[in-house]
A and B are shown apart, each in its own frame.
Chain A
């Protein structure tokens, strides 16, 4: 029973860690995308578009 509880706790912890890592990755990616978007917006603000 105790072993089952330990396994369950370990599984939960691993799942929680994996979720946290993915969440952090997504957040970092969003920050990078946001910076790129700011750079693109700056370029577009100075752009003469083809008609």
Chain B
């Protein structure tokens, strides 16, 4: 992931914004970390703030600057976890397909990501419970969600 990140702003303690500039023009992006029902675990929310009121995510924006957007997101994750090293960040796709895309991205950049973050994934068992395990970039299984936590 060598693209330069976009300049981002932290608008409050849990929100960041930046502007993606691609083939469709400028798209306002919003990143929000929301505390979950589990103490110390924050959900990573990511969406487009389009002027026509529509909202999309990384899988559908198709603005031709995916690497730049991902690079910015990684920098935001590093910035947020610099401020809150003890937090676990959880993220999942709004659909199974999007979650698979996240898994592919983590797999592709695992070598770099794992230098900065502990990465785990959730697998679903037959009894509908989920188990957290170390993220395996070579697994053939599909994870349900992912956790990252800063290494010190």
A residues near B131, Cβ cutoff 8 Å: 47-48, 50
Q: Is B137 an interface residue (CB 8 A)?
A: no
Q: Is the interface of A mostly helix, strand, loop or mixed?
A: helix
Check B55–A29 contact: CB distance below 8 A: yes
Residue of A nearest to B50 (CB): A25
Check B130–A43 contact: CB distance below 8 A: yes
Please give the number of chain A residues whose Cβ is less than 8 angstroms from any Cβ of chain B in the complex.
23
Question: How far is the CB of B31 from the nearest CB of chain A, in Å?
Answer: 10
Knowing A29-B30, A36-B94, A39-B92, the reply to whether A44 touches B36 (Cβ < 8 A) is yes
B residues near A50, Cβ cutoff 8 Å: 120, 131-134
Q: Is A13 an interface residue (CB 8 A)?
A: no
Q: Is A5 an interface residue (CB 8 A)?
A: no
Q: Is B129 an interface residue (CB 8 A)?
A: yes
A49 in complex: contacting residue of B36, B49, B92, B132, CB < 8 Å: B132
A29 CA to B27 CA, complexed, in Å: 14
Check B94–A25 contact: CB distance below 8 A: no
A33 in complex: contacting residue of B45, B122, B130, CB < 8 Å: B45
B residues near A21, Cβ cutoff 8 Å: 51-53
Please list the 5 inter-chain residue pairs (A to B) with the smallest Cβ-Cβ separation, ordered nearest first: A33-B45, A50-B132, A47-B130, A41-B37, A29-B47
Q: List 22 A-B contacts (CB under 8 A).
A: A21-B53, A25-B51, A25-B55, A29-B49, A32-B55, A37-B45, A40-B36, A40-B92, A40-B145, A41-B36, A41-B38, A43-B122, A43-B130, A43-B144, A44-B90, A46-B130, A47-B122, A47-B131, A47-B132, A48-B131, A48-B132, A50-B132
